[in-house]
Amino acid sequence: MRKYPFIIIPIILFSFLAFKTVEQDDRYFQIVKSLDVFTTLFKEVNAYYVEEINPTELMKIGIDAMLSSLDPYTDYIPEDDIEDYRTMTTGEYGGIGAVIEKKGGINTVVMPYKNAPAARSGLLIGDQILKINNIALSGKKAYEISNLLKSQINAQITLEIKRMNRPEVFEISLATEKIVIKNVPYAGLVKAGVGYIKLTDFTTNAGKEVGEALKELTQQGVSKLILDLRGNPGGLLDEAINVSNIFIPKGAEIVSTKGKLEEWTKVYNTKNQSIDAKIPLVVLIDERSASAAEIVAGVVQDYDRGVLVGRKTYGKGLVQQTRPLAYNAQLKVTTAKYYIPSGRCIQAIDYSTKGTTKIADSLKSTFRTSSGRAVLDGGGVDPDILIDPSKFAVVSYRLMQKDLIFNYATKYYFDHDTLASARDFELSEPEFKQFLAWLENQSFDYQTPLEIKLEQALDLAKAGARSEQVHQSIIEVSALLQSEKKKDLIHHEREIKQLLEQDIVSRYFFQEGIIEASFDVDLDILKAVEILEDTKSYDGILKPN
């Protein structure tokens, strides 16, 4: 009787292996069959469709549609887009070094990079680019204009420019260079002893840039630090580990990945001695902090290494790798989920369900930080201190939307040769009145949500054959609202002045000026400083009783 198990086990094992072989064979057959159907369908459409088709474009549409059924991060990168992808991962490209956006339908310089060819050649914020190398830009799409500006290093480019303070169109000639977009566009002092580092990306050398910035700030007497990850979309996993390693000692687990293949299941630890494992730290996060930014924020929280201030992060807990394809194309494919030190995955959406609904709170699990604080998975990283997002008044939003803040800042620049400093600049009351006088000649008008509702109410009253008295009452309320709306510019003067000040400062001090001008009005930064200067509150958050 005892011999039976030795007979049964091989039979069961053989049956299992046979089943797996049949299952794999069926899967391979399904793959070959599907590819054969797709190929023959593509040939038939190309041969018989009533109009001529672009085979490359049609194939890309098919590939994009197929990959979009998986998740938003699995992408096909054709050869033509490889340079843009390299720019995203390395922060480097050949170009003039300026951000260009459409303003009033015209391609306009909104930010030249400091010391780049655009800035050195005299290109200014607000300059309208009409032609590039004698090619008119009217009607061209953003990627077409980008391709005209990005090229091999030392290529000569001639721009036809229209400038606010010059009636005639003129040309600027410049040579392209290797442009390196910094991960750390600003590092400085918010106040004595409190340093601030803005980290906007996780491309190559992000960890090195943050480390160097911290060392320089320490030499300036900084003993407390704010690391700003707001709006940071993430990037390279290795750089997330490097940035974490600045604050976390050698040998600590930073992140682990789990994928379908064994090669994608790994644990990543810090490799170097930390630069400063004790400096009091506040990390700023918001709903646009994603991927690598969430790893750093999550690591800081899980090890109770610092306090998170702001809003819940995006919730991207997936890892992508690039795979080479034929004809120099690439596939960026999601290969694993990542888990931060507490063991949680902060992925907010389960794409295996083919939906875009975020994971319900009832399905989230509780994990613990090093000191025992409860933290949740399945929905981004929650801040330790929640700051409600600032909301602009409708009048402020419309002023920005119609580029009136932008245009007046350009006008102010041409009317004023210098500005004392970004941090101390404040628009005076007479200067604000000058803005209001200028605005009267700009045909500025806007609709408030209440006005829209009143228009709808009037239409409903007419459709429902309501009395003239009802119609008249709605019209009277609308007229009263119009009268009240004229006071919005005065009522929201402080907010509008702050927007004007930041835009004006950018003309003189570029991106660094915008950041410095925000220090005294940014609620997240003000709260961070408050926490860092209150040792009892800071320790109480990280080490609750």
* pLDDT 10s digits, 319-342: 999 999 998 999 999 999 999 999
What pLDDT does 101 receive? Answer: 93
**Amino acid, res. 168:** E
Q: Which residues are catalytic?
A: 291, 302, 316
On whether the pTM is more than 0.95, the answer is no
Using N-to-C axis directions, what is the helix angle for 404-415 and 493-518, rounded to 10°? 70
Question: Using one digit for the tens of pLDDT, what is the confidence trace for 216-263?
Answer: 999 999 999 999 999 999 999 999 999 999 999 999 999 999 998 988
User: Does 451 have pLDDT greater than 90?
Assistant: no
> Residue 2 — pLDDT band, cuts 50, 70, 90?
very low
Give the integer Cα–Cα distance in Å for 506 and 184: 17
Question: Using one digit for the tens of pLDDT, what is the confidence trace for 14-36?
Answer: 555 555 565 666 778 889 999 99
What pLDDT does 81 receive? Answer: 85
What pLDDT does 360 receive? Answer: 77
Domains recognised in the chain with CATH numbers? 28-69 (no CATH), 92-180 (2.30.42.10), 186-389 (3.90.226.10), 394-527 (no CATH)
Which of 43-47, 50-54, 473-477, 530-534 shows the lowest per-residue confidence on average (mean pLDDT)?
A: 473-477
User: Does 11 have pLDDT greater than 70?
Assistant: no
> Residue 355 — pLDDT band, cuts 50, 70, 90?
low
Mean pLDDT of 170-197: 96
Pairing between β-strand 281-285 and β-strand 307-310 as defined by DSSP bridges? parallel
Give the integer Cα–Cα distance in Å for 199 and 218: 17
Highest mean pLDDT among 3-7, 80-84, 439-443: 439-443
Written as six digits, the tokens of 49 are 């469709």
Question: Using one digit for the tens of pLDDT, what is the confidence trace for 51-67?
Answer: 999 998 999 999 999 99
| CA distance between the termini of the chain | 62
